[in-house]
Structure 1
Amino acid sequence: MNKTYYEQINEVLYEETLPNGLRVFLLPKNDYHKTYGLFTTDYGSIDNEFIPLGETALTKVPDGIAHFLEHKMFEKEEGDVFQLFGQQGASANAFTSFTKTSYLFSTTDQVTKNLETLIDFVQAPYFTEETVEKEKGIIGQEIQMYEDDANWRLFFGILGNLYPKHPLHIDIAGTVESIAEITAEDLYTCYHTFYHPSNMTLFVVGKMEPEIMMETIRKNQASKEFAPAKELVRHFPKEEKTDIIKESQLEMAITRPKFILGIKGTAELPEEGRELLRFKLAMSLLMQLLLGNTSQNYLTLYNSGVIDDSFGFEFNLDRSFYFADFGGDAELPKEAADEIERVLVNYKENTEINEENLILLKKKMLGKYFQSLNSLEYIANQFTQSLFGETTLFDMPEVIQSIELSDIFTVADSFIQPENFSRFFMYPKK
């Protein structure tokens, strides 16, 4: 078991890769009463075309199947796993993103028992055609709920423009039509391909004795048999810059128009994990410098009524894609998009990008980071969602402090390309 001490945050991380390939991370925090466990597979909604385990040809599965599989994992022949966690004094949940599926529990009692329940239920699939059919109605209602959510539709509107071929533009839950095609056999195909221990990470944080906890996990895994690990082959459509849809719009039952401006990342990213994390953090700092709520650009646009306090932005970087989006409500959405684009493309002339502002924002980013470490949920979720090779969540302070003004201009030069811009507008139904 490897042990890493992070001096800046005074934390000790234990890590071990088991013989079956499962990566285990333990972070003892014995001044907490709670323990939080997260079991994650590197499999999400975009992984809909791949070579199944034991086969040689690519297969395409229905959209939304990763999310559907997540729902079905809790239902077993002997009953509902949620009830079992409840009886053991724990709460449980799960979530699916574009690239990951995670199962979790939180408890102050019977930690070992709940941890073994988490591992065992995720490693014991049970699907029948009857239970699959029943689930379609439940997930269909969830899909329809999101279809009525204007901000959700706005976000997927810009993804549809930026990634018209890539499965990223498809709702994580799929569509009512796509989930209707899912069979129990499809679920087993996806499960056996992507839920192999070698494609998974187990992270436990909170009150524990790490040596005892790791031994429990070792014994649990040694008692089970798994197929030999195989290299995963995923396939994504090839996309060109010319595929980007420059502008589109939608009418919905809303009271004020909305806009969103997106930028698709197309430049080659650093391969080394630490440099990749540096790129991501430098991009976040660039966006704060240009349009953060303390920037002069934001205050000017806000005071002139071009944007309001609904305005926000985010930068997403994950396996096989990265992009930024900026948006909110606006009485004149096209004018708002024009102004945001003007700020972005003229970044070289922007006096806000200076040493003094960068130092302030780095301090703010560090402060927010240290504050977030009080939450076990934040630590577990961010750690497992953001593995940059050997570089982890706990290397962030050092990486943040290393970012210089030249790094900000370097990431801006590679990312802010006008041909990679797109807009999506939403208007009230007439």
Structure 2
Amino acid sequence: MTLLEDGSSTAELEESTAAPRPRGRWRRWVGWLVVALMVIGGTAIAARLVTTPPAVGAMLDPEGPGDVGARALAEILRQQGIDVTVVRSYAEVRSHLDDGATLAMADPLYLTDETVQALVADAPRTVLLSGSARMLRLFRLGESAVGESGPVTAACDLPEFARVGTILPGRMFSPSVNTTGCFTDQDENAAVLVDYSSSQRISLVDGTVLFTNDRLAQNGNAALGLALLGQTGHVVWYVPSSGDSDITGEAQESLGSLTPGWVTPAILMLLLAGLAAALWRGRRFGPLVAETLPVTVRASETMHGRARLTAKAADAPHAAEAIREGTVRRLAQRLALGDRVSAHEVADAASDRLRIPRGSLQDLLGGPPPADDQQLVDLARRLAELEDAVDAALHPHVRTPNPDDPSRSGRNTSDRGEHRA
């Protein structure tokens, strides 16, 4: 067993470096398990978001309680004794229609024009709740008008609109020759179109602005909904959706159908190989071991390194602070003041020892820092002179060497050094 410079033995060093590793390998496996679960969960959520179709039927849904739903209008109709039947399949609409039923629906985007016309042909009364260009074209009701309108009243001969009052429509329409326009503006554009030229009656209004839950209570919107849908004792409300479609066609080729069959297994094999490699190489990493190395750094090297950094940065205030701290510490030791005294206390003690007024050394030991290198050199010179003066006052028998006498400077300096040591 050999001893190092700091007094420790090589046996102690070997014992410290050979410290046993903690028995917590199960924590690493728990971490890998958490990562795997996060990857699986993220993949499942992404697949769910990709494969879930958008909820198109939420707008004007008579069972929808949200802002864009129409549940409030359906409940008002039921309170008036009107039977409201919600149908979500176009194949079941005909079975619910009778002689006194009113068909209500928005634009069924996923049905062909022929199917939409067949649904309307079976209903004695139809209220189209969407003012799309497709509905206007299919039933020849008119065209969309350009611009917006302010509040309008009925201004037509239909008795059911007499007590509606004022409404603020979103879209206005230009009625065709055989169509009656109600709630018209100064340009004869109408908010409600009614065609009763044949045995059927078809009405069109932009219900997305007037009949949703958040706008039904405004102006005369609720009264207009009752006037359009409450003329019969039965309302068949068809709610279109992407899952209820009669549009057929060839499915577009996807990326999976275009790639060869061996690509997916190859990708899975690469992922498994990467995971196995990560587990294999990950076992070589263990916890960090704290080890005290037998290295001794000399104080002079630290001092010189800090001095070079200060000089390179041209930081005169920081250098002055370091010089003042060293002077205060040495003067405190020589004046037997202890290690926790302030610079002002050392300045007062040095003033008393040098028999000069108190306060004359406050700026020298605790004043503002120098602004440039010239002031720093001057401060260092004055601090060195202060230390020499205090040494001379404490030990008057020791002669101060004359810097102009080279024959005596070496001896006096060595004597001072021995006395200070």
TM-score range for the pair, normalised by the shorter chain length? under 0.3
Higher relative contact order structure (alpha carbons within 8 Å, sequence separation ≥ 6): 1
- Structure showing greater radius of gyration is 2
**Larger strand percent:** 1
- TM-score between the two structures when normalised by the length of structure 1: 0.15
